[in-house]
Structure 1
Amino acid sequence: MTTQTNVLPPKPASAAGPALRPGVAPLTGAGATIKQITALVVMLVPLAGFALALQRALEGRMSTTDLVLFGVFYFLHMGGITMGFHRYLAHKTFNTSPFFEGLLLICGSMAAQGPIMFWVTTHRRHHTYSDQHGDPHSPNLHGPGLLGRLRGIWYAHMPWMLAKDVSGWNFFAPDILANRKLFFYHRTYGLWIVLGLALPAAIGGAVGGSWDAAFSGFLFGGLARIFLANQAAWCVGSVCHMIGGKPFKTDDNSANNWTVAILTFGEGLQNNHHAFPGSYRHGVKWWEPDLSGWLLAGFGKIGVVWNLRSPDEKAVAKMRAR
């Protein structure tokens, strides 16, 4: 990790609140406003699309094509985030070809969870300060008792994106910042979001033969998919740091939640992940639900990915002994 160069110095502790942690800088003025507007768009526009899709479904206007488009693009969305943004970029748990790298990062960008530099710096910051002051989305820092837990799990699910701070690029992700090939996908982030909305619309229209079918494809394969997939993904930072099993002793409150793990292709196995953050698989046991880990293992056997990193049995046993 390098010394930060592109973030402001941390604020000193004051009556207004605790000091910002290293690598975290305050946002003021236009920067804070832009961040908050962007976050609201990401939260509210897919919600509106989901509401319209639900209305069509209740009225009996949902087609088989709509369901297929939702399923296919949910798979691409979640696979791009879990294998591409998370296990490949943020943790470097495997290597792959430029073609498969591009496919993963384009699919991850279509998820509308933020461009690469935002996603990776936020996630690495989460691991650096997990469930401590400085964690961007911990549910465990909002007071004692039931009210504090409810306030925390809500904040960690979505409102954290409105916070007036930023994770330093040079501090948390100098490796990606220096890689022009990877930074290309950061700069073209908006293009891939548009593609993730236009493709299901085009396919729906081509299959259904009408503008209404295209609009339905746009809703189910686009906005509704983004809404539901991201709700599941955001449960990883909220629910999975409060509710679930904890087979390993870690320095945070990460937990394995199988419901979230199934919906997020293994990401809900947060206790396993925080015990072994450099592992390509989140399932320590073969039967733990980790679709992305299973897919990467399969891709490894046919040479699509290589240098898959994971703990051996001795490392797992040592961690359990803690």
Structure 2
Amino acid sequence: MTTTLDKSEEQASPSDGPKPLFEGKRNLATQIAVYMFIVLPFAALIAAVPLLWGWGLSWLDVGLALFFFYFSGLGVTVGYHRLFTHNSFKAKRPMRIMLAIMGSMAVQSPPITWVADHRRHHAFSDREGDPHSPWLFGTSPWALARGFWHAHMGWIFERDVTNKQRFAPDLMADKDIVRVNKLFVLFTVLTFLLPALIGGLATWSWWGALTAFFWAGFVRVAILHHVTWSTNSICHMIGERPFKSRDKAANFWPLAILSFGESWHNLHHADPTCARHGVQRGQIDTSARLIWIFEKFGWVYDVRWPTEQRLARLAVGKD
């Protein structure tokens, strides 16, 4: 069984010279910020059920939450993942910058950090060195439970920082992306402030601003966090594997719509540079559809769409 490594994996391979896996550890302030931006949205998600029952959810809040969920979520899947990590297509400069900003507003770390972590994941997928494999502790029930927690969100709290010079040198040399990377705190503030501002102006009330801040800010970010993390955890444990890959990446259809097509994870690991992950009949992939729309407008180009011949070679049972 063989699969072709994309450029990002070759660039991040274990034999890539003396560059270390990590570049150091997070300082205390950064570690506290990580806890805040993980714990606070999660606390809001827990509080959402009783609050939803009793007060404070309007159709405006729902609309704002959906808009910012798609805006920031597609920034991660189309921008951070398929463009910056795997070079599944090329984008003109305004589109590259916009996708980097959109992804930043998902509050999942700055673009260069996200890409470095994800390229390391592909270079060592489900082996020692993978930042979030659920299979690092064994296969007993307790080991799998521990592995699920680690893959889902436990790995985020570790202080080791992936070496960006080793895993993302191309982005470190991109002045536009470096600038967006430095403005991550600003875009984090905006992802919470903008829904509140729109909600307050639309209702002309502080109450409208508060409910929009809660639902379209904290709750939306928390749900998006767990959808993304579920691709790391669930999609490496449960599901179908119709294509050959070097790891345990699997398709988990219940997450397909919420994850914008990312949960068709088996094909992605079998062919990482492919711009479409859902390639079989009925597999909805909204990220690929957005890339297709961008291509029609001429905003992106050199899109690496799947071919029948390529998929046939990658199918399980084929040499």
TM-score normalised by the chain length of structure 2: 0.90
| Equivalences, count | 304
Which residue, 243, 248, 255 being the options, matches 1:253? Answer: 248
Cα separation, 1, equivalents of 2:164 and 2:260? 28
Q: CA deviation at 1:181?
A: 1.2
Query: CA 1:140 to 1:305, structure 2 compared with 1: closer, same or farther past 3 Å?
Result: same
Q: Which runs of 5+ in 2 are unaligned?
A: 1-9
Counterpart residue number, 1:145 = 140
Counterpart residue number, 1:227 = 222
Q: Is the 8 A contact 1:79 1:108 kept in 2?
A: yes
Cα separation, 1, equivalents of 2:133 and 2:27? 20
Residue 59 of structure 1 aligns with an amino acid whose one-letter code is G
Cα separation, 2, equivalents of 1:153 and 1:172? 25
Counterpart residue number, 1:112 = 107
Residue 170 of structure 2 aligns with an amino acid whose one-letter code is D
Whether 1:269 and 2:260 are equivalent positions in the alignment is no
Cα separation, 1, equivalents of 2:299 and 2:57? 36
- 133-142 or 160-169: which moved more? 160-169
Q: CA deviation at 1:50?
A: 2.6
TM-superposition CA deviations, 1:10-65 (whole Å, max 9, x none)? xxxxxxxxxxxx6422745xx35445323211211112333444443111321110
Q: Is the 8 A contact 2:260 2:286 kept in 1?
A: yes
Residue 61 of structure 1 aligns with an amino acid whose one-letter code is G
Cα separation, 2, equivalents of 1:161 and 1:82? 19
Whether 1:25 and 2:57 are equivalent positions in the alignment is no
Which residue, 176, 181, 189 being the options, matches 1:181? Answer: 176
Q: CA deviation at 1:106?
A: 1.0
Whether 1:298 and 2:283 are equivalent positions in the alignment is no
Cα separation, 1, equivalents of 2:211 and 2:12? 49
User: What percentage of aligned pairs have identical amino acids?
Assistant: 37
Q: Is the 8 A contact 2:132 2:152 kept in 1?
A: yes
Which residue, 206, 225, 231 being the options, matches 1:236? Answer: 231
Residue 211 of structure 2 aligns with an amino acid whose one-letter code is S
Specify the SS of the correspondent of 1:58.
Answer: helix
Q: Is the 8 A contact 1:258 1:289 kept in 2?
A: no
Q: Which runs of 5+ in 1 are unaligned?
A: 10-21
Whether 1:79 and 2:74 are equivalent positions in the alignment is yes
Which residue, 152, 155, 158 being the options, matches 1:163? Answer: 158
Whether 1:205 and 2:200 are equivalent positions in the alignment is yes
Cα separation, 1, equivalents of 2:50 and 2:42? 12
Whether 1:154 and 2:166 are equivalent positions in the alignment is no
Q: CA deviation at 1:134?
A: 0.2
Counterpart residue number, 1:172 = 167
Cα separation, 1, equivalents of 2:177 and 2:27? 26
1:121-140 matches, cutoff 5 A: 121-140=116-135
TM-superposition CA deviations, 1:149-188 (whole Å, max 9, x none)? 1111111101101223221111001100011111111011
Residue 213 of structure 1 aligns with an amino acid whose one-letter code is G
- 309-318 or 62-71: which moved more? 309-318
Cα separation, 1, equivalents of 2:20 and 2:289? 34
Query: CA 1:35 to 1:254, structure 2 compared with 1: closer, same or farther past 3 Å?
Result: farther
Specify the SS of the correspondent of 2:127.
Answer: coil
Q: Is the 8 A contact 1:32 1:165 kept in 2?
A: no
Q: Is the 8 A contact 2:73 2:103 kept in 1?
A: yes
Aligned residues: CA RMSD: 1.9
Cα separation, 2, equivalents of 1:142 and 1:307? 40
TM-superposition CA deviations, 1:296-322 (whole Å, max 9, x none)? 112212322211113321111111114
Q: CA deviation at 1:127?
A: 0.2
